[in-house]
Amino acid sequence: MTLIAGGVVLVQSETTFEIISKIEVRLLFRRMARMTRRSWAITVPFLVLIGATSNAQVDHRRAHANWIDQYREPAARLIGEATGSTFAWQRLALLTDTIGNRFSGTPALDRAIQWAVGEMKRDGLENVHTETVTVPRWVRGAESAEIVSPAPHPIVMLGLGDSVGTPPGGLEADVLVVHGFEDLDARAAQARGRIVLFNVPFTNYGETVRFRSAGPSRAARHGAVAMLIRAVGPPGLRTPHTGALQYSADVAQIPAAAIATEDADRLQRMSDRGDRVVVRLRMEAHFEPDVESANVVGEIRGRERPDEVVVVSGHLDSWDVGAGATDDGGGCVVTWEAVRLMKKLNLRPRRTVRVVLWTNEENGGRGGLAYRDQHRAELGKHVLMLESDSGVFRPLGFGFSGSDSARETVQTIATLLSGIAADQISTGGGGADIGPSVQEARIAAMSLEVDGSKYFLIHHTPADTVDKIDPVEMAKCAATVAVMAYVVADLPNRL
How far apart are alpha carbons 40 and 426 in whole angstroms?
10
Nearer Cβ to Zn ion (308/389): 389
Nearer Cβ to Zn ion (173/356): 356
Q: Reduce the DSSP state of residue 238 to 3 states and report it.
A: coil
Q: Nearest approach, Cβ of 136 to Zn ion (angstroms)? A: 16
State the catalytic residue, choosing from 24, 119, 361, 473.
361
| Cα→Cα distances 467→92, 168, 176, 393, 396, Å | 10, 37, 38, 12, 21
Using alpha carbons only, what angle is made at residue 457 by residues 454 and 462, rounded to the nearest 5 degrees?
120
89-94: list long-range contacts, CB under 8 Å, 24+ apart.
89/466, 89/469, 89/470, 89/471, 89/474, 89/475, 90/471, 91/119, 91/333, 92/325, 92/329, 92/330, 92/333, 92/466, 92/469, 92/474, 93/466
How far apart are alpha carbons 45 and 447 in whole angstroms?
28
Nearer Cβ to Zn ion (119/361): 361
Q: Nearest approach, Cβ of 433 to Zn ion (angstroms)? A: 9
Residues with Cβ within 8 Å of 442's Cβ and at least 6 positions away in sequence, in order, are 16
Q: Nearest approach, Cβ of 387 to Zn ion (angstroms)? A: 9
Q: Does residue 361 carry a catalytic annotation?
A: yes
Q: Nearest approach, Cβ of 30 to Zn ion (angstroms)? A: 13
Nearer Cβ to Zn ion (352/363): 363
How far apart are alpha carbons 402 and 384 in whole angstroms?
9
Nearer Cβ to Zn ion (170/330): 330
How far apart are alpha carbons 443 and 402 in whole angstroms?
7
- Structural contact between residues 383 and 488, judged by C-beta atoms closer than 8 angstroms: yes
Number of alpha helices (DSSP H) and beta strands (DSSP E) in the chain: 14, 18
DSSP 17: P
Task: Report how far apart the first and last C-alpha atoms of the chain are (Å, whole number).
Answer: 27
Nearer Cβ to Zn ion (361/473): 361
Nearer Cβ to Zn ion (162/327): 327
How far apart are alpha carbons 81 and 87 in whole angstroms?
10
Q: Kindly state the helix (H) or strand (E) to which residue 371 belongs, with its residue range.
A: helix 366-374
Q: Residue numbers of the site for Zn ion (CB under 5 A)?
A: 327-328, 389
138 CB neighbour count, 10 Å cutoff: 22
- Structural contact between residues 430 and 29, judged by C-beta atoms closer than 8 angstroms: yes
Q: Nearest approach, Cβ of 445 to Zn ion (angstroms)? A: 16
DSSP 326: I
Return the active site residues: 361
